[in-house]
């Protein structure tokens, strides 16, 4: 049975191009270098014959389905959208299709979704900020190549690509300090989550480095969601303690904080300066545009996809790079007059 299109075969493409079938196969798979003259001849033949490779059949011939399962948490989230776009782009360049499922921050549901992907015989799995225990990841990674993006697994079978949440949080607080702020509140993420805990640690240690005492009354949990940001901001304001700046652990909770202040007749940054985290696309268009710590989420998604393809093909994944964090300064922060804080 031919592994190519039923209407146009690989042999026909090779015959028209004046090259061997193996040369066309190597060119399409990208496994070997082909001269520019042969590339041009093959491309011309493909176009003239309207040739379309049957990627599924080709994968099955190699014992693969040419699919990669991607376990995320909230497909509707802008944060996960950016990472998923990077994953999808990179997988497509290797002729793999992504199958996306969500775990909704529920460990039981996450494992069910993971088992569902494995049951579909995906060639590999990418976990986007999974909440699964190491033992569960290790057990399932025995049967399928697995990459964890946004976390660090103790399993040697799981290829981990972590984020530097700590340094990003310090960067945000340091910016406030440079603007003259000393009463800096924090809208935190979900307690017990590694990323949220690291951002809290970065916040606390940046205060300490600036000689500012940590005050737990200036911290409220926003849960990484807009509604949580509204509630957390209202909690901070209702406590009656003075503060001139707020660092939100992600952009979604920062949007909620903006809304809470708007409803109270307060203006950002005239009354309170605000910094978010992730630099989601919407942050350029919020009112005012939000200062935020940028993570190159799309690039990180591409890196995770390249790593899982390498594992599938029996190669060592590229060495993980440290994501370059950047503070994107917009209009939600301002300097305090000297002596006002």
Q: What is the mean pLDDT of residues 9-26?
A: 86
For 294, the 3-state DSSP assignment is: strand
Q: What is the mean pLDDT of residues 14-40?
A: 81
* pLDDT of 4: 42
Fold of 10-53: 434 Repressor (Amino-terminal Domain) (1.10.260)
Are 65-163+296-323 and 165-295 the same fold in CATH? yes
Beta-strand relationship, 291-294 and 326-328: antiparallel
Q: What's the order of all strands across the beta sheet hosting 273-278?
A: 219-221, 184-188, 245-248, 273-278, 291-294, 326-328
* pLDDT of 103: 92
* pLDDT of 62: 63
Q: What is the mean pLDDT of residues 273-288?
A: 96
How is domain 65-163+296-323 classified at the architecture level of CATH? Answer: 3-Layer(aba) Sandwich (3.40)
Question: For 59-70, how does the pLDDT look when each residue is reduced to its tens digit (9 = 90+)?
Answer: 555 668 899 999
Provide the total of helices (H) and of strands (E) in the chain, helices listed first.
12, 11
What is the DSSP secondary-structure string of 152-214?
--S-TTEEEE---HHHHHHHHHHHHHHTT---EEEEE--TT-HHHHHHHHHHHHHHHHTT---
Angle between helix 226-238 and 251-263 (nearest 10): 50
- For residue 163, the number of C-alpha atoms closer than 13 Å in the C-beta half-sphere is 29
Give how far Cα 1 sits from Cα of 57, 170, 300, Å: 10, 60, 39
User: Which DSSP letter does residue 145 get?
Assistant: -
Contact 100, 75 (CB under 8 A): yes
Q: Where are the domains positioned within the chain? A: 10-53, 65-163+296-323, 165-295
User: Which DSSP letter does residue 217 get?
Assistant: G
Q: How far apart are CA 44 and CA 36, in angstroms?
A: 12
Contact 21, 11 (CB under 8 A): yes
Question: For 91-134, how does the pLDDT look when each residue is reduced to its tens digit (9 = 90+)?
Answer: 999 889 999 999 988 999 999 999 999 998 999 999 998 888 99
Q: What is the mean pLDDT of residues 73-91?
A: 89
Q: What is the mean pLDDT of residues 242-269?
A: 98
What is the DSSP secondary-structure string of 43-108?
HHHHHHHT----HHHHHHHTT--SEEEEEES-TT-HHHHHHHHHHHHHHHHTT-EEEEEE-TT-HH
Q: How many CB atoms lie within 10 A of CB 2?
A: 11
Fold of 165-295: Rossmann fold (3.40.50)
Residues of the chain above pLDDT 90, percent = 64
* pLDDT of 79: 85
């Amino acid at each position: 049975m031919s592994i190519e299109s039923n209407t146009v075969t690989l042999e026909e493409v090779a015959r028209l191009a004046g090259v061997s079938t193996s040369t066309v196969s190597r060119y399409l798979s990208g496994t070997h270098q082909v001269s520019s003259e042969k590339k041009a001849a093959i491309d011309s033949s493909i176009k003239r014959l309207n040739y379309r490779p049957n990627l599924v059949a080709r994968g099955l011939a190699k014992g693969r389905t040419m699919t990669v399962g991607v376990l995320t948490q909230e497909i509707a989230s802008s944060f996960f959208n950016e990472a998923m776009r990077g994953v999808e782009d990179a997988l497509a360049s290797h002729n793999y299709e992504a199958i996306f499922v969500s775990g909704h921050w529920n460990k039981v549901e996450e494992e069910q979704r993971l088992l569902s992907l494995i049951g579909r015989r995906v060639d590999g799995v990418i976990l986007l900020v999974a909440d699964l225990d190491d033992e569960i990841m290790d057990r399932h990674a025995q049967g399928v190549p697995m990459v964890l993006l946004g976390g660090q697994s103790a399993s040697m079978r799981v290829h981990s690509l972590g984020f530097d949440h700590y340094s990003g949080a310090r960067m945000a607080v340091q910016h406030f300090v440079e603007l003259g702020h000393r009463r800096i509140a924090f809208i935190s993420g979900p307690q017990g989550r590694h990323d949220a805990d690291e951002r809290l640690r970065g916040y606390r240690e940046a205060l300490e480095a600036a000689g500012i005492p940590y005050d737990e009354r200036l911290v409220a949990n926003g849960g990484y969601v807009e509604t949580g940001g509204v509630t957390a901001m209202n909690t901070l304001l209702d406590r009656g303690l003075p503060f001139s700046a707020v660092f939100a652990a992600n952009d979604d909770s920062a949007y909620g904080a903006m809304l809470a202040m708007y409803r109270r007749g307060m203006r950002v940054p005239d009354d309170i300066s605000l910094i978010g985290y992730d630099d989601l696309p919407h942050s350029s268009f919020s009112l005012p545009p939000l200062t935020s710590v940028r993570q190159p989420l799309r690039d990180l998604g591409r890196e995770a996809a390249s790593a899982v393809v390498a594992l599938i093909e029996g190669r060592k994944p590229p060495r993980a790079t440290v994501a370059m964090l950047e503070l994107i300064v917009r209009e939600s922060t301002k300097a305090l007059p000297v002596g006002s804080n």
